[in-house]
Amino acid sequence: MSENSPATPLRAGLIGLGMMGRHHARVLRRLAGVELMGVADPLGDAHDAAQGVPLYNSVEELIDVGIDYCVVAAPTAYHEKLGLTLAAAGVHALVEKPLAQDVESSRRVADAFESAGLVGAVGHIERYNPALQALRARLADGQLGNIYQVVTRRQGPFPNRISDVGVVKDLATHDIDLTAWVTGQPYRSVAARTAYKSGRDFEDLVAVVGQLDDGTITNHLVNWLSPMKERVTIVTGERGALIADTLNVDLTFHKNGELATEWEAISNFRGVSEGDMIRYAIPKPEPLQTEHEAFRDALLGKESDIVTMRQGLVNVVVAQAIIDSAEKGATVAIGN
């Protein structure tokens, strides 16, 4: 793929024209260095997302057009079949998260792309949220010192488009991926509880307590039951806390106070007090645009931060451990 130049655009395809697929189509149509050759969806294009780009019924028809890579935005249940078909045809792929419906399916897809020497990525879009990218950079610079805890809250109403997975694999995989990514630490164990409140076959609420490899504690609250939409990540360390609001793309720093404790009874307690608060001004490009640019650059052999399929597999492993923990009522260790 490194032979491609701006004069020879990468030829892209898209499978799936649901809500997320329509956003992918919009970005792909205007992405520099890329030509959208066709889209495929057996249900058609009711919202005219293709905008004149040829519409096909199957992945095989799309492959026959002659594409360099394909974005898979179909329901999770179809990810394995579509991924394996693309790998067998020598087509690179960006697959929406989760990579596939379970651990073994995800492993087969990751193995197929690696064996074929293809670039495979998973669409964990939160990595490209400017608030989280700025947070990660500040953690890497040591702004908080030692990290103690990562807390995420991801809640809101149920999206009717989801029918084949529960809140753990659809939403909590965002928090699994971003937590390991911003800290640079894999999960060691998880303990979880789930609830089924909306009459569906899959869980719609999960509460997780986890531990990362370096001992950092994590807490994740995720549900489809709240009328209030919230997307918050809080990282607490020895020098204060960073709060990323990915819904509003804001990053705030709460510094530990430096006032002396005058109350003799607690003067020996090594706690913290409220200090200065800073809300950072950060550039706010669209995360989906940044994700597509990163994948395009990876295909061109440029340095690029993509979520590899192997990393996507790890996220599915942790998600399954969360589901297993809830079913067993016990802490589950994450295998290597």
**What are the tens digits of pLDDT across the range 234-252?**
999 999 999 999 999 999 9
pLDDT recorded at residue 335: 78
Every domain of the chain with CATH number 3.30.360.10 lies at: 127-285+316-333
pLDDT recorded at residue 199: 85
pLDDT recorded at residue 201: 87
CATH of domain 127-285+316-333: 3.30.360.10
Contacts of residue 100, defined as CB under 8 A and 6 or more positions apart, other chains included, come to: 76, 79, 80, 83, 106, 108, 109, 316
**What are the tens digits of pLDDT across the range 112-135?**
999 999 999 999 999 999 999 999
In 3D space, the residue among 175, 173, 185 whose CA is nearest the CA of residue 146 turns out to be 185
Phi/psi region, residue 164 (left: phi>0; alpha: psi -120 to 50; beta: rest), is alpha
Every domain of the chain with CATH number 3.40.50.720 lies at: 10-124+289-306
Q: Which residues of the chain fall short of a pLDDT of 70?
A: 1-7, 160-163, 258-274, 336
Q: 10-124+289-306 adopts what CATH topology?
A: Rossmann fold (3.40.50)
Q: pTM for the whole thing? A: 0.90
Mean pLDDT, rounded, of the chain = 92
pLDDT recorded at residue 272: 62
pLDDT recorded at residue 65: 96
Tokens standing for 29? 């149509």
Q: Provide φ and ψ at 20, rounded to 5°.
A: -70, -40
Contact 71, 12 (CB under 8 A): yes
* Chain length of the chain: 336
Distance CA 217, CA 239 (A): 17
